[in-house]
A and B are shown apart, each in its own frame.
Chain A
Amino acid sequence: MTEEPYRWVEAIANRAEYIDTQLAAGSPIVALGYRDGILFLTLGRSHQKLFEIYDRIAMGAIGHPGDIERLRMAAIELASTEGFTRSAADVSLRRLAHYSLSPVLKTAFEQVYGAPYLARLLFAEIGAKQENDLFLRLDYDGAIATNNATFAQSRQDFGVLSGTRASAELMEKYLAAEYSTGATFERALKLALDAWMVGHLALGDAGIKELPGREKIVTQRKERLREAAIEAAVLERDEKISIRYRTLPEAELRASAGD
């Protein structure tokens, strides 16, 4: 079947549709740069979605737990051996994604007789200054999107991940409008919660297509926070410490968020 090119294209399209459906309910993840670090945030009730990869690199993921685990291990193994043989400063997220993870995802996706990865990943690497922060999204087919300036966007100090493309785009639209560089932690936390809410409301066929009003975000957020747990972690912009990743206790988050 795959000897015929158009059949192969068809098979790939079917597979993309299948994976999209599988991932469609994934809870959004927001990564937001602020003055003293990068904040990762998501809401949920089931499994852990935020992970430490290396000294300055963190990852958020949605998808099948088994696939996320395989990709997470691959990323940690590569970063750890690189950091061991050279130094922690030589471990680069750019290389990790372009050289290692993206080809693996692409190959698995295009070999139609094998199983693809049911996962979408969001990475961040903390820089010395906010303009050096790198946010990188890796899709199930190996496609990479970063926060760098392109024809379509100016440089962004955030990265988002969601179950559907429409939801991710709306979150980006919201953050592009509301976010400004140099925010405090408290401001970043509130924005991240709001961006999560926007992404969540945009999920599903009945999801919103345009940005909701301020009031709707606030009331929905309060309601949501009553039943779901906040999962959050930061990469600290402190040059004096080597391991920058730190998970944030939920009580502290709720106090800071003022809910």
Chain B
Amino acid sequence: MEDFVGLLRRTGHIGPVSPIGPVSANADVPLTQATTILAFKFQGGVLVAGDRRATAGNTVVYDRADKVLEIDRHSIMAIAGVPATAWEMARVLEHSFQFFRRTQLQEMSVDGKVRALSQLLRDNFGAVLQGLGVVVPIFATYDSASEPSARLYFYDAMGAQFEVADYAATGSGSPAVRGILYYENNWGKKPLAKLSEDEAVTVALRALDTAAESDTATGGVDRNAKIFPVIKIVSREGITTLPEKKIAAVFKRSVA
């Protein structure tokens, strides 16, 4: 049975997979990209957050980029990487899930969705080796199948998927974020999984602000222009995008 990517390829709407050519020993393959995205499980599901900065080299090109994208009613893909490739991947993924549901008359399984993204990354790897379009995403979804539960994955540029129990972070600012999430989870007031929504938003904002403190490619919170990170929550009921007002209030109360 042909999938949506196969259909696009057959009808010439996307190009063929670029071959993985010879790689020299000292090839400079970018493994991560300028940005910070993070996700962790908390009491109300999975929180996914991303800063808003888009850079080209050391130039800031855009300060309102949305890197946390809704793929379907229960799935979020957060992207670190080259925007053109990442947004196209998100678009292909969104249409693939819908195409599957319409043609097969059932929802694609969580494992199927996770694999579909893996396949897109693998197809893109030839381009990555040429120095174009590296994408390192996080995928968060809610599995309503046999045992309802929040599921969280991160990927490497080759398409390997890693399911995580607590949290994930990718992008150039992620080392700092991972440090904070590890610390909070082990020695904070309570483990991440026990946090309420407001507490979770606080942790996310503090983590992104810390990443931005040392990483020039991460926007963090722009206090002058009042630009806040995008924060979305996946739960059994679906996806909620936190309104900027709410994020601003939490920021004022417990971060600023």
Contacts and interface: CB of A to CB of B under 8 A. Distances in A.
Interface of A: 48, 51-54, 73, 76-77, 80-81, 83-85, 243
A128 B99 CA distance: 24
Contacts of A81: 7-8, 11, 13
A53 B103 CA distance: 9
B124 to A, nearest CB: 17
A195 B11 CA distance: 41
Nearest to B4: A80
Contacts of A54: 102
B91 A73 contact: no
A80 B105 contact: no
A77 B13 contact: no
Interface string B81-92: 000000000011
A53 B102 contact: yes
A76 B13 CA distance: 16
Contacts of A73: 103
Given A77-B7, A243-B98, A84 B103 contact: no
Interface in B63-108: 91-92, 95, 98-99, 101-103, 105
B36 to A, nearest CB: 29
Nearest to A243: B98
Which of A53, A76, A80 has the most C-beta atoms of chain B within 10 angstroms of its own C-beta? A80
7 closest Cβ pairs, A-B complex? A84-B95, A76-B102, A80-B99, A52-B102, A85-B13, A81-B11, A76-B103
Question: Interface majority SS on B: helix, strand, loop or mixed?
Answer: helix
Give chain B's interface residue range (CB within 8 Å of chain A).
10 to 19
Contact of B105 (A48, A53, A243): A48
A81 B91 CA distance: 12
15 contacts: A48-B105, A51-B105, A52-B102, A53-B102, A76-B99, A76-B103, A77-B7, A80-B7, A80-B98, A80-B99, A80-B102, A81-B7, A81-B8, A81-B11, A84-B95
Interface centre among B7, B13, B98 (most CB of A within 10 A): B98
A84 B102 contact: no
Contacts of B102: 51-54, 76, 80
Contacts of A77: 7
Q: Which of B7, B91, B92, B101 has the most CB of A within 10 A?
A: B7
Given A76-B99, A243-B98, A84 B105 contact: no
Interface string B7-45: 110010100000000000000000000000000000000
A106 to B, nearest CB: 22
A243 B74 CA distance: 14
A53 B102 CA distance: 7
A56 to B, nearest CB: 13
Contact of B95 (A48, A51, A53, A80): A80
Nearest to A72: B103
A123 to B, nearest CB: 14
B95 A83 contact: yes
Nearest to B92: A84
B6 to A, nearest CB: 11
A51 B4 CA distance: 18
A121 B224 CA distance: 58
Contacts of B13: 81, 84-85
